[in-house]
């Protein structure tokens, strides 16, 4: 979007590379193509979810229900697969996307038409969707033995050294990048979050844009429901518990503003990869996974600090004339703005 | 001669401001103004919108620091480094829109920030409620200290604001348009309170546009114009005509680039447009190539009316004809599609997305035109943006930088460019030159003439008399949500408009 953001993505890329280099001095082979492909594959689900989360964050909302959506949809397709093994995989994937989008649409509807704040609406559905997963399954697990080979193995099938799961993430990144930068919907996301009033005046329907952002986030969560169940070869109510916070963390680290309107697909992907590198590296160099949480937390705070400083710098630019006129304490430089 | 007038003439000022100046980028808001406030006296501060009244209030209450001049309280020069310092010196303000807290009790609102404490340093609730009750009784306010603010009427909230002002041992009370939201009866009540404050020896600065109120309650006046002191004195010795002349009479140092344009057929016909609360029965015709000025005081309902033309709010009655066809506008998207665009007053709040690149702001209202098969084409977006950037003489490092990096005048150009790109038939400009520097103002005016010359119809909302007089072919004046009249260019003069807008016969 802007130079600052590009600079920021470059910085994040460099940090990721430095981390990989540093870890590989302690754990030889960490930086091998195979290991890197493995890290990417392992982070694929987080990347896809983070991109959905990003769409919602851009509109000044947040979707806390992504992991619960993932759990419910994962359970639903796993049960469908075990009960009707004859249903072909493409149909199951379409079902996952559809169920997820439906759950996302419920969030979007509450935010758009009922006017419930996104954080409250999705906090509610977070609990509801997990509860629905429990009701659907009666608390039972769907195990590896109950799933078909195609269901389990397709995402694991390697193509050019990367499993299909990883390729799915690449495909989603490509589609989302095009949608966000090259379609009216994408532009509306940025406009609706960047300045809802200006967007309204320009004929952008802010509420509807939010609705579709939630629906996109839901559809990607549904897709991840299938991917997750197939990857870990088990479906139960508590899968991906707390994972919604990882998606927000990936976005924040990647420079997507929680205040809306700012962020790039590259940033979100690099933010997710950063978490993926840390998560994969710490066990290799024998650091407890609990440190991983602490480090993620620290990095989030640093990222937010960076964002805040960036915003201040931008603020100064706008007010640079005001600063010259010695009125340092004045927040609004023009009388008319306050009168 | 009444007692109050005798006091007004003889006593020494409680507070004096001498040679106060304040500049903002490109605007000299106050240029060496003087004003004196006397104990037991109401001084009315009179001036057009933009005359510098609000700036003066902000300096007096410590929100702004003056660039020059001095403030003297009872003979001692003082300096208000903060709002708190002003309060410590006994200066309080009751603002146009009172700043209070809905969810707190009346007593909490009155004492927020200076609540009485007990020995442990905790809030002394009993003492606070008792003192609040005493204060409320002292101004005859029929309000209990225990009530939630949200349960009070606007007039009652005003009383709470006054009680709050008095809770800090105020010596100077500033009232910035206190009657704007009050009914006739409530104004009477307010004036009784003001009389009481006068008897207590407080100095009152009363800001109002309404002459009848000014003459009813104030003894002294001060007139500001374009940030300068024009006159001050006793109201008993000054006629309304003299004050109106002081308000508007000005040297014409800005020549308006108004072209002679052949006025064509009616483009927009508004009939009986009404809104439940903001405006009532507005009817006019707007012709091709015409600039129609919309003048009135702040709060006269002009912006609200224009927003309903643009589909942001919905009229409760009335109809709209565009080029002879009856149309209905339900949303801004409808308006843009019909060819009506709105350039809002607050550019950064309503006009642009600051963090978006310039070119994307330019194309925001016309994305359909730069799209093929659902995909935006950046090259076309840049081409469109470049065309209007050149035409508007936009000064920017590149079209890909965020709009937030531009100056106010250049941001305004982006907003206008965005709407021109939509190829409108009617363009509504809401305070087009508010808060921008002189150079950009002239450019905006020249541009407005050019648009009219190309056959666009312009509806220009403006509170600046010279602009209204200089640019309009006709002027519609609104007062308190109603049409006060419509005048042709050759019938226009400043005093007529001010009289129509203020309701001063």
Scanning the structure block, which residue is given the tokens 């579709």? A212
Looking at residue A70, its pLDDT comes to 96
Which residue bears the tokens 């603010």? B149
Question: B264-339+424-505: same fold as B3-248?
Answer: yes
Asked if A195 and B352 come within 8 Å (Cβ–Cβ), the reply is yes
Question: What confidence score (pLDDT) does residue A87 get?
Answer: 92
Q: Rounded to a whole number, what is the distance in Å from the CA of B53 to chain A's nearest CA?
A: 9
Q: Say how many C-beta atoms besides its own lie within 10 A of residue B299's C-beta.
A: 18
Q: Tell me the pLDDT tens digit for each residue of A136-168.
A: 999 899 998 999 999 999 999 999 989 999 999
| DSSP assignment string, B9-58 | HHSPPSEEEEEEEEEETTEEEEEEEEEEE-TT-EEEEE--TTSSHHHHHH
Query: What residue in A sits closest to B50 (Cα-Cα)?
Result: A336
Q: How many CA atoms lie within 13 A of A62 on its CB side?
A: 19
Do residues B281 and B272 lie in contact, with contact meaning Cβ atoms separated by under 8 Å?
A: yes
* B364–A191 C-beta distance less than 8 A: yes
Kindly determine whether residue B65 and residue A327, on different chains, have CB atoms separated by under 8 Å.
yes
pLDDT of A28: 83
Which residues in chain A have Cβ-Cβ distances shorter than 8 Å to B332? 200-203
* Three-state SS at B201: coil
- CA angle in degrees (0–180, nearest 5) for B284-B288-B290: 70
Measure in Å the smallest separation between the Cα of A36 and chain B Cα atoms. 34
Q: Give buried/exposed letters for A147-180 (b at 16+ CB in 10 A, else e).
A: bbeebeebbeeeeeebbbbbbbbeebbeebbebb
Q: What is the distance between the alpha carbons of residues B296 and B278, in angstroms, rounded to a whole number?
A: 13
What's the topology of domain B264-339+424-505?
A: Rossmann fold (3.40.50)
Q: What is the mean pLDDT of residues A304-330?
A: 45
Which chain A residues are closer than 8 Å to B407 by Cβ? Answer: 321
Q: Are B377 and B357 in contact (CB under 8 A)?
A: no
**Chain A CA closest to residue B347:** A198
Q: What per-residue confidence (pLDDT) applies to A319?
A: 34
Shortest CA gap A159–chain B (Å): 30
In a domain, A277, yes or no: yes
Please report residues of B whose CB lies closer than 8 A to that of A322.
24-25
Find out whether B286 and B475 touch, Cβ atoms under 8 Å: no
Q: How many domains does chain A have?
A: 1
Q: Do B333 and A317 touch (CB under 8 A)?
A: no
Which pLDDT band holds residue A336 (cuts at 50, 70, 90)?
A: very low
Range of the domain at A207: 3-316
Q: Do B332 and A337 touch (CB under 8 A)?
A: no
Residue of B nearest to A195 (CA): B353
Between B299 and A24, where is the model more confident? Answer: A24
Is A145 inside any structural domain? Answer: yes
Name the residue of chain A whose CA is nearest to B403's CA.
Answer: A318
CB under 8 Å to B178, separation ≥6 — which residues? B94, B96, B158, B190, B206, B208
| Of the partner residues A195, A202, A314, the one whose CB lies closest to the CB of residue B418 | A202
Give residue-wise pLDDT tens across range A92-121.
Answer: 999 999 999 999 999 999 999 999 999 999
Q: What is the pLDDT of residues A258-312, one digit of tens each?
A: 888 889 999 999 999 998 988 888 887 777 777 877 877 887 788 777 766 655 4
Evaluate whether residue A234 is within a structural domain.
yes
Mean pLDDT of all residues belonging to chain A:
85
CB contact under 8 A, A197 and B350: yes
For residue B85, give Cα distances in angstroms to A266, B112, B113. Answer: 50, 16, 13
Map tokens 């304040």 to a residue: B22
A335 near B CB under 8 A: yes
The chain B residue lying nearest A315, using CA atoms, is B404
Q: Which residues of B touch A262 (CB under 8 A)?
A: 355
- Which residue of chain B is at minimal alpha-carbon distance from A201? B332
3-state helix, strand, coil in chain A (%, to 5): 75, 0, 20
Contact A190 B360 (CB under 8 A): yes
- Interchain contact, B376 vs A190, CB within 8 Å: no
Looking up residue A52, the CATH number of its domain turns out to be 1.10.3470
**Beta-carbon separation of A201 and B351 below 8 A:** yes
| Of A220, A210, A199, the residue nearest A60 (C-alpha) | A210
The answer to whether the Cβ–Cβ distance between B333 and A334 falls below 8 Å is no
Contact residues on chain A for B58, CB-CB shorter than 8 A: 338
- Stated as kind and residue range, the H or E segment containing B164 is helix B154-166
- Asked whether residue A333 is assigned to any structural domain, the reply reads no
Of B29, B52, B357, the CB nearest to A2: B357
Is A201's CB within 8 Å of B332's CB?
Answer: yes
- Residue A309 touches chain B, beta carbons under 8 Å: no
Task: Check pLDDT > 60 for residue A317.
Answer: no
- Is A323 within a domain? no
Are A201 and B312 in contact (CB < 8 Å)? yes
A contact test, residue of B61, B364, B463 with most A CBs within 10 A: B364
Q: Which pLDDT value is given to residue B504? A: 66
Asked if A159 contacts A146 with a C-beta cutoff of 8 angstroms, the reply is: no
HEC string for B442-469: HHHHHHHHHHHHCCCEEEEECCCHHHHH
pLDDT tens digit at each of 505 positions of chain B = 454 555 545 578 899 999 999 887 666 788 999 999 999 999 999 887 667 888 899 899 888 899 989 999 988 898 888 888 888 888 888 876 556 788 899 999 888 878 888 888 888 899 999 999 998 988 888 889 999 988 887 778 888 888 888 888 788 999 988 776 676 677 888 898 899 889 888 999 999 877 778 888 999 999 988 888 988 999 899 888 788 778 776 544 456 777 777 788 888 999 999 998 888 899 999 999 899 999 987 778 888 899 899 988 888 899 999 988 899 998 888 888 888 988 887 766 778 888 899 999 998 888 877 788 788 888 888 998 999 888 888 888 888 888 888 777 788 788 888 888 888 899 998 888 776 655 567 777 888 888 888 888 999 998 878 788 888 999 999 988 888 889 888 888 888 888 888 776 5
Residues 67-96 of A with CB under 8 A from B: none
Among chain B residues, CA nearest to A257: B355
Answer whether A262 sits within 8 Å of B355, measured CB to CB. yes
What residues of B are in contact with residue A178 (Cβ under 8 Å)? 375
Which chain B residue has its CA at the smallest distance from A204's CA?
B333
Q: How far apart are the CA of B35 and the nearest CA of chain A, in angstroms?
A: 19
Chain A residue closest in CA terms to B368 = A184
**CB A55, CB A213: distance < 8 Å:** yes
| CATH topology (fold) of B3-248 | Rossmann fold (3.40.50)
Asked if B368 lies within 8 A of A321 by C-beta distance, the reply is no
Could you tell me which chain A residue has the CA closest to the CA of B411? A318
Using an 8 Å CB-CB cutoff, list chain A residues near B365: 202-203
What's residue B40's pLDDT?
92
Question: Which token pair is B19?
Answer: 């040679």
CB pairs under 8 A between A and B: 135
A318 touches chain B (CB under 8 A): yes
Looking at this predicted complex, what is its ipTM?
A: 0.76
- Which of A201, A204, A327 lies closest to B342 in CB terms? A201
Q: How confident is the model at residue A216 (pLDDT cuts 50, 70, 90)?
A: very high
Q: What is the pLDDT of residue B255?
A: 63
The count of other CB atoms within 10 Å of the CB of residue B102 is 11
pLDDT value at A212 more than 70: yes
- Cβ–Cβ of A317/B364 closer than 8 Å? no
The answer to whether B364 contacts A202, with C-beta atoms less than 8 Å apart, is yes
By C-alpha distance, which of B102, B82, B100 is closest to B91? B82
Q: How far is CA A40 from CA A50, A278, B251, in A?
A: 14, 12, 72
Calculate mean pLDDT across residues A125-130.
96
């Amino acid at each position: 979007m802007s130079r600052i953001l590009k600079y920021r993505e470059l910085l994040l890329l460099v940090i990721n590379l430095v981390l990989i280099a540093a870890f590989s001095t302690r754990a030889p082979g960490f930086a091998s193509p195979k290991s890197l492909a493995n890290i990417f594959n392992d982070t694929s689900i987080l990347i896809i979810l983070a991109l959905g989360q990003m769409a919602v964050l851009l509109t000044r909302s947040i979707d806390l229900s992504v992991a619960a959506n993932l759990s419910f949809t994962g359970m639903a397709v796993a049960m469908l697969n075990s009960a009707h093994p004859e249903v072909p995989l493409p149909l199951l994937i379409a079902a996952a996307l559809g169920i997820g989008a439906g759950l996302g649409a419920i969030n979007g509807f509450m935010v758009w038409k009922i006017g419930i704040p996104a954080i409250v609406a999705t906090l509610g559905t977070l609990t509801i969707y997990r509860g629905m997963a429990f009701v659907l399954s009666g608390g039972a697990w769907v195990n590896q033995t109950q799933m078909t080979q195609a269901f389990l193995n397709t995402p694991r099938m390697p193509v050019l050294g990367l499993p299909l799961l990883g390729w799915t993430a690449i495909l989603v990144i490509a589609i989302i990048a095009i949608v966000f930068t090259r379609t009216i919907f994408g532009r509306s996301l940025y406009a609706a979050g960047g300045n809802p009033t200006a967007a309204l005046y320009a004929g952008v329907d802010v509420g509807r844009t939010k609705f579709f952002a939630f629906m996109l986030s839901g559809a990607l969560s549904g897709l991840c429901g299938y991917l997750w169940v197939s990857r870990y070869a088990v479906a139960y109510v508590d899968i991906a518990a707390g994972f919604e916070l990882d998606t927000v963390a990936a976005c924040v680290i990647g420079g997507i503003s929680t205040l809306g309107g700012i962020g790039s697909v590259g940033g979100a992907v690099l933010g997710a990869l950063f978490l993926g590198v840390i998560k994969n590296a710490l066990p290799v160099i024998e650091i407890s996974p609990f440190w991983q949480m602490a480090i993620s937390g620290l990095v989030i705070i640093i990222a937010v600090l960076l964002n805040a400083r960036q915003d201040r710098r931008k603020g100064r630019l706008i007010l640079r004339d005001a600063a010259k006129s010695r009125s340092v304490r004045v927040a609004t430089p023009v009388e008319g703005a306050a009168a | 001669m009444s007692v109050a007038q005798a006091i007004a003439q003889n006593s020494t000022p409680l507070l004096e401001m001498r040679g106060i100046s304040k500049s903002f980028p490109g605007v000299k808001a106050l240029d060496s103004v003087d004003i004196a406030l006397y104990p037991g006296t109401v001084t009315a501060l009179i001036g057009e919108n933009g005359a510098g009244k609000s700036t003066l209030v902000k300096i007096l209450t410590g929100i702004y620091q003056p660039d020059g001049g001095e403030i003297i309280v009872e003979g001692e020069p003082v300096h208000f480094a903060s709002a708190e310092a002003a309060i410590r010196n006994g200066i309080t303000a009751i603002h146009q829109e009172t700043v209070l807290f809905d969810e707190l009790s009346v007593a909490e609102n009155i004492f927020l920030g200076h609540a009485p404490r007990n020995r442990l340093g905790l809030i002394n609730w009993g003492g606070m409620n008792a003192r609040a009750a005493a204060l409320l009784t002292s101004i005859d306010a029929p309000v209990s200290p225990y009530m939630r603010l949200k349960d009070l009427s606007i007039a009652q909230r005003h009383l709470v604001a006054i009680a709050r002002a008095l809770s800090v041992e105020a010596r100077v009370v500033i009232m910035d348009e206190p009657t704007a939201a009050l009914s006739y009866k409530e104004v009477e009540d307010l004036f009784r309170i003001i009389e009481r404050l006068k008897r207590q020896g407080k100095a009152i600065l009363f800001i109002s546009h309404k002459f009848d109120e000014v003459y009813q309650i104030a003894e002294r006046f001060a007139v500001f114009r374009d940030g300068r002191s024009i006159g001050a004195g006793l109201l008993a010795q000054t006629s309304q005509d003299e004050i109106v002349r002081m308000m508007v009479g000005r040297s014409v140092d800005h020549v308006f680039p108004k072209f002679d344009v052949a006025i064509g057929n009616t483009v927009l016909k508004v009939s009986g447009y009404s809104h439940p609360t903001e405006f009532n029965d507005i009817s006019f015709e707007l012709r091709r190539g015409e600039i129609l000025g919309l003048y009135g005081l702040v709060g006269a309902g002009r912006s609200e009316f224009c927003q309903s033309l643009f589909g942001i709010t919905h009229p409760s009655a009335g109809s709209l004809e565009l080029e002879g066809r009856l149309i209905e506008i339900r949303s801004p998207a409808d308006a843009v599609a019909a060819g009506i665009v709105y350039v809002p007053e607050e550019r950064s709040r309503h006009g642009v997305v600051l963090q978006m690149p310039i070119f994307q702001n330019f194309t925001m209202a016309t994305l359909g035109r730069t799209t093929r098969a659902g995909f935006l084409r950046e090259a076309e977006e840049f081409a469109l943006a470049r065309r209007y950037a050149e035409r508007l003489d936009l000064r920017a490092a590149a079209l890909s930088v965020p709009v937030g990096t531009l100056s106010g005048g250049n941001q305004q150009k982006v907003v206008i460019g965005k709407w021109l790109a939509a190829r409108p038939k009617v363009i509504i400009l809401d305070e087009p030159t508010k808060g921008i520097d002189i150079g950009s103002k002239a450019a905006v005016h020249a541009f407005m003439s050019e648009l009219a010359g190309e056959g666009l119809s312009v509806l220009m909302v403006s509170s600046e008399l010279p602009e209204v007089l200089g640019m309009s072919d006709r002027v519609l004046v609104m007062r308190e949500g109603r049409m006060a009249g419509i005048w042709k260019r050759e019938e226009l003069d400043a005093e007529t408009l001010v009289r129509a807008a203020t309701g001063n016969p």
